[in-house]
Amino acid sequence: MRIIVIALTLVSATLAGTTVYFARELQLERGRSHAVAGPIAQTPPAPQAQLPLPSAPPVVQQTFTPPLAQAESKEADEKNMQVELSRRTLKMLTDPAQREGMLLEQKMMMRNMYPRLAQSIGMTNEEADRLFTLLAQQQIDFQEKFARCAVDPNCNERDGGLNQTDPSAQEIANLLGADRQQQFEAYKNTLMERESVVQLRTRLPDASRLPDERAEALVAALADERQKIHMEAAQRGAGMNGYGTGVGVVFSASDAATPEAQLESAQANSRRMRARAAEVLDTEQLRVFDEMQEELLISMMNQVRRKEEFATNSSFTTATIVN
């Protein structure tokens, strides 16, 4: 009997607990129902409920920078970069070992820039070596002046500070003398043609070797024709555009408005160069020279076409951005 009483007591306690649990859950459910049915103002939405709909993507704010401000910013960046490079240059020049290395490097560049200079203007090897040293020193001195001016905010490169008398110039004049100085200036004016003749001599077979005297004659003839082409263009108020590769340069009139007109102008000038070369070269030599001219024209036309394609694509891109 006692066992039955205990069992009934446990069942009653369990039922009582279950009744309390369901009563509590019913009360919570009614509270949730009232919250849903109540005014919206009484239940502010959670922050994440205010996100835009997928059909309306967020607007990206872009800051418009006027072209003038962009140009000024770019100019400022370039100036800062130049100042930093100038500081590094000055640091190198203050080190005797690095300065000597820079001088030797410039001297090597001068030798490559002026091939066969000694033979062309009648210098000994010792004189040529001294000249290359002086020319290299000129370049180092100019770099140093330019660097000091770049890091000095009070320096104005237009005030003539970079064009002061160069001591090396007088030494060069003393070394060469009046006649060879004039020959040296003429030599520098024909560097373009000399490079072309060097390439021609490299391509020629041994049986068609171009002697020094005829090489100099070819340089003179090509330089003379180039000057005539430029003078004729200047007389009609135009200039010349040069298109070069490792084998030389071909010229096209700047007033040629279309790629076809540019090519026609370049072909006409090339024919003039070939005619002058024919005055000096034999048949085989002229054949190789013609090949080089054809290569120049092909390269020039490819450059013109790429430039036109770039301009067209840039115009289309600009129009797309504006629209």
In this prediction, residues 41-51 reach a mean pLDDT of 48
Q: Rounded to the nearest 10 degrees, what angle do helices 212-235 and 191-203 cross at?
A: 140
155 shares its domain with 244? no
Is 103 inside any structural domain?
yes
Is 57 inside any structural domain?
no
Q: Of the residues 154, 189, 224, which one is the last residue of a structural domain?
A: 189
251 shares its domain with 224? yes
Is 77 inside any structural domain?
yes
pLDDT tens string 100-157: 999 999 999 999 999 889 999 999 999 999 999 999 999 999 999 999 998 988 887 6
Q: Of the residues 189, 213, 243, which one is the last residue of a structural domain?
A: 189
Q: Which residue has the tokens 């502010």?
A: 44
Is 179 inside any structural domain?
yes
Is 68 inside any structural domain?
no
89 shares its domain with 138? yes
Residue 7 has pLDDT above 90, yes or no: no
pTM, full prediction: 0.63
Give the alpha-carbon dihedral of 84, 85, 86, 87, to 10 degrees. 50
Q: Of the residues 156, 171, 189, which one is the last residue of a structural domain?
A: 189
207 shares its domain with 319? yes
148 shares its domain with 221? no
CA distances from 76 to 52, 162, 211 (A): 41, 22, 53
177 shares its domain with 207? no
Of the chain, the end-to-end C-alpha distance in Å amounts to: 97
Cα–Cα nearest to 241, from 276, 268, 265:
265
Query: 90, 158 in Cβ contact below 8 A?
Result: no
pLDDT tens string 159-176: 545 556 677 889 999 999
pLDDT tens string 57-78: 555 555 556 666 677 777 778 8
206 shares its domain with 308? yes
94 shares its domain with 201? no
Is 244 inside any structural domain?
yes
**Residue 275 belongs to domain spanning:** 197-323
pLDDT of residue 56: 53
171 shares its domain with 212? no
φ/ψ bin of 136: left (φ > 0), alpha (ψ from -120 to 50), beta (otherwise): alpha
Domain count, the chain: 3
